Amino acid sequence: MFAALGDETRMRLVARLCEGGPLSITRLTAGSKMSRQAVTKHLAALSQAGLVRSDRAGRERIWRLETKRLVEAGRYLSAISEQWDAALERLRRLVETEP
């Protein structure tokens, strides 16, 4: 799953959103070494990919996970891996059955 996120900071943000439910940037940044600016940047990237979304609540934005999209992103590498397995099985049949 985390492989799909490709970045440790994003992985931590997703983990915090998953654990702590919808959170504001202030809450997401609290108690971590990440700057507000860095968090904002990563949330923007995740949001652009449709992996998180935000709603305005008063003066703040509240961020939440798009769980379904995250699962799809997580399937990416394993799906490619399965495609290779199938292709290699066909290669095996080709080279092992022909003289």
Partner 1 sequence: MTTSTDRLEKSILLRAPLERVWSAISDAKQFGSWFGVEFEGGFAAGTPTFGEITSTTVDAEVAKSQQRYTGLRFEFVIDRMEPMRLFSFRWHPFAIEPGVDYSSEPMTLVALELEEVPGGTMLRITESGFDSIPLARRADAFSANEEGWETQARLLEQYVALAAT
Q: Rule CB under 8 A: say whether 53 interacts with partner 1.
A: no
Residue the block writes with tokens 């990237």:
45
CA dist 23 and 11 (Å) reads: 15
86 is a site residue for partner 1 (CB under 8 A): yes
Residue 35's region, left for phi above 0, alpha for psi from -120 to 50, else beta, is: beta
Q: Binding marks (x or -) toward partner 1, 8..27, rule CB under 8 A?
A: ---xx-xxx-xx--------
Instruction: Classify strands 52-57 and 60-65 as parallel, antiparallel or unpaired.
Output: antiparallel
Contacts with partner 1: how many residues (CB under 8 A)? 48
The binding site for partner 1 (CB under 8 A) comprises 1-6, 11-12, 14-16, 18-19, 45-46, 48-51, 67-77, 79-81, 83-96, 98
